[in-house]
Amino acid sequence: MAIDVTPLFQPLCVRGKTLRNRIVMPPMVVLHGLTRPSGIEWYARRARGGAALVIIESTAANRFVSELTAENLKPLVEGIHHYGALAAIQLSPITRGSRVSPADLDRQQIESIVCHYRIAAQTCVEAGFDGVEPHGAHGYLLNQFFSPEQNRRADEYGGDLENRMRLALRIVREIRPILGPHRLLLYRHTPVGPGYGIAESVTLAKRLVAEGVDILDISPSSIEAPGDRAAPFRGLGAPVIAVNNLDDPGRAVEALAAGRADLIAVGRGLIADPEWPNKVREGRLGEVVACIQCDQGCHGNLDRGEPVACTQWPKGE
């Protein structure tokens, strides 16, 4: 039976910026590099394939102190813009693979993290990014601060919910003015985690929106109903991104049509087939190169420290 994909291809205006459709490439570590030609081409190709918003993989904020500059990031942004997509980047408080918990940080180190976010945000503005996204999901450091089971601090950054929200809210409060009135501030959050659930997450989301977050990136939803865990975050004053097994066009449309999300993140699907949005829009569903969730070319390569690929690509790619 044919799928009416019209809901996926309605534009959405956020803070004066127009997303040409509802399809987002979520931040996925791919190890192709942000300043190398291969990395620039990787992200530009997904923009060319029709995604409305391309979110660059999680990148440690401290890399912007010296390594990542406005000048060496501009080609990445320009490559995405050339094909009509908006460009955002996810910012992580620490280097990927670092084993740091909330208890490991003293106040000076927390202040350094906040400072690095300010530097990163300013660099991203100068490079031309349309938005930035603090990474507060999937058990990484900011998410650990939110979790009562993982955050055992006894100071103002631990204990009750207000304190466990403090670092996330500080970061958002610091970088919102740097982004100015015309750039997007996203925040990625996992809605259910160790010791917390939807109710506390909604409280955080309300505070984030009050501090100037424009888009709530809720990851993941459950497998049962497309976008189900994103749904409670709608109506808080910011569009909501849903993610998890939404590279099935029918599931993606259901999440939108059922009012569970405003935007759909297609992750594995855009690794397997950069043209996923264009093919779906044009009704060429039979031509979509589908992810088979073998985890060999993507996670397998990451485990070996190699750039992400896909076993479903034609030979030679």
The pLDDT value recorded for residue 57 is 97
The mean pLDDT value for 66-84 works out to: 98
Residue 7 CA: distances (Å) to CA of 11, 16, 259, 286: 9, 21, 11, 20
The pLDDT value recorded for residue 81 is 98
Q: The whole model's pTM is what? A: 0.96
Write out pLDDT tens, residues 149-208.
999 999 999 999 999 999 999 999 999 999 999 999 999 999 999 999 999 999 999 999
pLDDT > 90 in the chain, percent: 90
**What is the phi/psi pair of residue 122, to 5°?**
-65, -40
Write down the catalytic residue from 43, 83, 117, 140.
140
Domain membership flag for residue 205: yes
Angle (CA) 313-298-134 rounded to 5° is 125
CATH number at residue 287: 3.20.20.70
Q: Determine contact, residues 101/144, Cβ cutoff 8 Å.
A: yes
Cβ partners under 8 Å of residue 273, min gap 6: 49, 279, 288, 289, 290, 312
Domain membership flag for residue 237: yes
Q: Is 157 a catalytic residue?
A: no
Please say if the pLDDT value at position 303 is more than 90. Answer: no
Domain membership flag for residue 317: no
The pLDDT value recorded for residue 317 is 62
Write out pLDDT tens, residues 198-243.
999 999 999 999 999 999 999 999 888 999 999 999 999 999 999 9
Domain membership flag for residue 163: yes
Domain membership flag for residue 309: no
Nearest to 121 by CA among 186, 166, 167: 186
Write out pLDDT tens, residues 232-275.
999 999 999 999 999 999 999 999 999 999 999 999 999 999 99
Domain membership flag for residue 56: yes
Q: Determine contact, residues 263/13, Cβ cutoff 8 Å.
A: no
Domain membership flag for residue 192: yes
Nearest to 191 by CA among 166, 171, 217, 167: 217
Show the domain range for 223: 6-303
- Domains contained in the chain, number: 1
The pLDDT value recorded for residue 77 is 98
Q: Determine contact, residues 188/135, Cβ cutoff 8 Å.
A: yes
Domain membership flag for residue 313: no
